[in-house]
Structure 1
Amino acid sequence: MRPTLALLLLACTAVVGCTTVDALPARTPLPTRDAAFAPPARLPDAAAVLAVDDAMRAHLDGAGLRHSEDPRRALVELLYSRRSLALDYEGVTRTAAETFAARSGNCLSLVAMTAAFAREAGLPVQFRSVAVDESWNRSGDLLTLNGHVNVSLGWPAAAAGQVLRSTDSALVVDFLPGEQVAGLRWRSISQATVLAMFMNNRAAEALAEGRLDDAYWHAREALNQDPHFSAGHNTLAVVYRRRGLADAAESVWRTLLEREPANRSALANLAQLLGQQGRKTEAGTLQARLQALEEAPPFRWFDAGIEALRRGDLEGARELFAREVARDAGYHEFHYWLARTELLLGRQRQALRHLEVARETSPTPQAQALYAAKIEHLRAERSR
């Protein structure tokens, strides 16, 4: 019987753990083993995920969204009213056009379709990752940890001579009942991360069906889209292990643990691999780290770090922000607040490193520009 593997999947995504980091190590290139995998039945096509086809354009024609009092609500009514399109939730990851044609998809599929329609209608779009409670599914010997994403719609840009209510709050489109998501923490994510999530979902679905070659190329494409996407690293390692490439799987999991020392999926999977290879001491060390991790809801240590800063407890705040970075190194605000605390402690080199990662992982050009300005300012201060 094959061992049970823990895989981080999206019907939408999450990562857990804890530990302290002084400064992030340099990124280690991931091993690619293209020669070990046959070409996929269908090439991963990131451009198709959010593309609008003729059938979707025809559905928008005559809707008169720009002339409605609230074009965002008019779009939602057009897409999700039972009197109109009547889409249903189904646990399959589809592109925007595929979701429209099938009239169903999982939450990531519905987010992609909504975003594609919104952009075609001239509405600004923001992708959001929602911090939901952990939810595991089992398919054979494969465990998957589900997460959740949704999308918010803004007001269209004003044409010449027009004044639109562009300062109104965004309209959030979610596919879970309101009582399930009300009050949950969320964070903005980039389109690159959404595309990585999509490819990772496709990889996990291929894995569950035993299509290793397809799984490999989609996991590889997930990391091409977003090299910081932790779930993509874990999926790629699982694929390698299934193909018998234990050295490549170990390398990917160790690379992920360099970045996120408290990533529970990586710790569990690597410990299992080492144990099966007879490397009991190394496996035991990882198991001990895994068992020592404190269970904590998303943002718990971040919120506690902010409170520690307010109290003037800089060392305590640094420890708490570092814990969040250790379990999720792909979220820019964790790095920013850790950088800010490091700077208050006089540790400019560490602050600069985390600001650089905050810039790399930030979801919007505006945030990237803001971090770039802070980096240049800090570098100028250090050179004086």
Structure 2
Amino acid sequence: MKRIAILLSLSLLAGCASVQPPAAPTPLFADARFAPPSEQVGADDLFTLSPAMRSYLNSQAFGRQLRQHGQRQGLVHALYSKNDLMLEYESARTRTAAQTFADRSGNCLSLVIMTAAFAKELGMPIRFRSVDVDSTWSRTAGLYLASAHVNISIGSRREAGMRSTDQDDMLLVDFIPQSEAQRIRARELEEEEIVALYLNNRAAEMLVHERLDDAYWWARAAVDKRPGMVPALNTLAVIYDRHGDRALAEQTYRAALEREPENVMVLRNLQPVLAAQGKHAEAQALAQRIAAIEPFPPYHYFDKGMVALREGDYGKARELFEREVKRAPYNDEFRFWLGVSHLKLGDIKDAREQIAKALDTSTRQEMRQVYSAKLAHLRRTGTATGTLIR
């Protein structure tokens, strides 16, 4: 399978100054090569409150939360407690604030956007941050998707005139323990960067569904919003590659590498594009450079583990899956197949544990349903059966 990597920003986690990246060269766009979008493309309504959101904001229940917990804690408690909205984490689609509220679910970027929309309406200062943690990889439709992390922090209305050094007075909104989140290095993001990340996510989601023309317009909007953002340039280049416009893909990858010369994701994407254009010596040299930077790419041990599993070497499969889980402990796919290897070896208790962890770490509703059903079956039977393999 051809390895194509795209960076998404899907996780809610909430600095230093943000630096405006240099502009991308204008020849990167190729509008005439793509059909018009099938839906409205843009982010004008990204933070817009719907009538239902305004009604909730003015409700007695919401007002009670603010009175009981204070302005900032009250907002977070109202949005994220299990007793009211009952929001669910769901990573398949990046939503606007209004869509997240209506669906009562969203990935973490969507939840950041919705939180920001309510805070803005209440006059609270907000800060967006990109958090310096290892990317989480997933794979679908021939795409390797790396999930980056962003978060939000909120100040009280009376702090609206605070200086940039007042970050300690902000309330961090996060899905990881506060003590851990506060130790992680982070870079402050401007709001237009959050907008560009949203547009880039939508482009990647269009790619997953093989809607190439729509993907182009979303990626174009992301690059137009934040011309030097490497993830957006990378996504645009992937679209060109899949569209057969390899010269444009190469040009766009190189524009991204001018900003981040050691970006392995972009380098890996560029290498087959060079080979496809007959630039074999350059492609080979680039492959050697990539191997020196990252000798074992994402899914390296997992793919070998799947081969071992198919060949019936369950002990080797378990060892390889364990190595991949050690590198990416929150990847539900890795956890599930580690559970399968335990099951094949007759280790029922360990199999249950790993599949339960797959259920706990999954960010997609359909996969949570699959894991839940398989785990329930395993608990009922308590035996190793072939029906667990999907």
- With normalisation by structure 2, the TM-score equals 0.66
Matched AA of 2:281: T
Paired residues in the alignment total 278
Residues 25 and 185 (structure 1 numbering): CA distance in 2 closer, same or farther, change over 3 Å? closer
CA contact (8 A) 2:202 2:218 kept: yes
Deviations 1:4-27 (A, max 9, x none): 2122222159xxxxxxxxxx9985
Matched AA of 1:206: M
Residues 241 and 167 (structure 1 numbering): CA distance in 2 closer, same or farther, change over 3 Å? closer
Q: Aligned ranges for residues 72-91 of structure 1 at < 5 Å?
A: 72-91=72-91
Q: Which residue of 1 aligns with 2:252?
A: 252
Residues 271 and 72 (structure 1 numbering): CA distance in 2 closer, same or farther, change over 3 Å? same
Equivalents in 2 of 1:233, 1:41: separation in Å?
A: 22
Q: Which residue of 2 aligns with 1:243?
A: 243
Q: Aligned ranges for residues 37-48 of structure 1 at < 5 Å?
A: 37-48=34-45
Matched AA of 2:52: A
Q: Which residue of 2 aligns with 1:280?
A: 280
Matched AA of 1:3: K
Q: Which moved more, 1:269-278 or 1:238-247?
A: 269-278
| Counterpart check, 1:56 vs 2:57 | no
CA contact (8 A) 1:85 1:103 kept: yes
Deviations 1:41-77 (A, max 9, x none): 2122211111111111110104337766620001111
Matched AA of 1:138: R
Describe the SS at the equivalent of 2:82.
coil
Q: Which residue of 2 aligns with 1:8?
A: 7
Q: Aligned ranges for residues 1-384 of structure 1 at < 5 Å?
A: 3-12=2-11, 28-61=25-58, 62=60, 63-64=62-63, 70-91=70-91, 92-157=93-158, 169-178=169-178, 181=181, 183-293=183-293
1:106 is displaced (CA, Å) by 0.2
Gaps in structure 1 of 5+ consecutive residues: 14-23, 160-165, 296-384
Equivalents in 1 of 2:148, 2:205: separation in Å?
A: 15
Matched AA of 2:44: A
Describe the SS at the equivalent of 1:157.
helix
Which one scores higher on RCO, CA 8 angstroms, separation ≥ 6? 1
1:190 is displaced (CA, Å) by 0.7
CA contact (8 A) 1:12 1:197 kept: no
Matched AA of 2:224: N
Matched AA of 2:136: S
CA contact (8 A) 1:30 1:252 kept: no
Describe the SS at the equivalent of 1:73.
helix
Q: RMSD across aligned C-alpha pairs, in angstroms?
A: 2.5
Residues 26 and 123 (structure 1 numbering): CA distance in 2 closer, same or farther, change over 3 Å? closer
Residues 294 and 213 (structure 1 numbering): CA distance in 2 closer, same or farther, change over 3 Å? closer
Equivalents in 2 of 1:154, 1:237: separation in Å?
A: 38
Matched AA of 1:4: R
Residues 7 and 172 (structure 1 numbering): CA distance in 2 closer, same or farther, change over 3 Å? same
Matched AA of 1:270: L
Describe the SS at the equivalent of 2:9.
coil
Residues 151 and 251 (structure 1 numbering): CA distance in 2 closer, same or farther, change over 3 Å? same
Q: Which moved more, 1:57-66 or 1:96-105?
A: 57-66
Q: Which moved more, 1:2-11 or 1:123-132?
A: 2-11
Deviations 1:190-232 (A, max 9, x none): 1111011101111111101100011101101111111121100
Gaps in structure 2 of 5+ consecutive residues: 13-20, 161-165, 296-390
CA contact (8 A) 2:46 2:96 kept: yes
CA contact (8 A) 2:246 2:277 kept: no
Describe the SS at the equivalent of 1:9.
strand
Equivalents in 1 of 2:121, 2:102: separation in Å?
A: 17
Q: Which residue of 2 aligns with 1:375?
A: none
Matched AA of 2:25: T
CA contact (8 A) 1:30 1:255 kept: no
Deviations 1:218-276 (A, max 9, x none): 10111111112110000000001111111111110111112221111221111111112
Describe the SS at the equivalent of 2:158.
coil
CA contact (8 A) 2:88 2:105 kept: yes
Residues 238 and 27 (structure 1 numbering): CA distance in 2 closer, same or farther, change over 3 Å? closer
Residues 74 and 217 (structure 1 numbering): CA distance in 2 closer, same or farther, change over 3 Å? same
Equivalents in 2 of 1:29, 1:292: separation in Å?
A: 33
CA contact (8 A) 2:100 2:111 kept: yes
Describe the SS at the equivalent of 2:26.
coil
Describe the SS at the equivalent of 2:28.
coil
Matched AA of 1:99: T
Deviations 1:322-381 (A, max 9, x none): xxxxxxxxxxxxxxxxxxxxxxxxxxxxxxxxxxxxxxxxxxxxxxxxxxxxxxxxxxxx
CA contact (8 A) 1:6 1:143 kept: yes
Q: Which residue of 1 aligns with 2:359?
A: none
1:292 is displaced (CA, Å) by 3.1
Matched AA of 1:33: A
CA contact (8 A) 2:228 2:256 kept: no
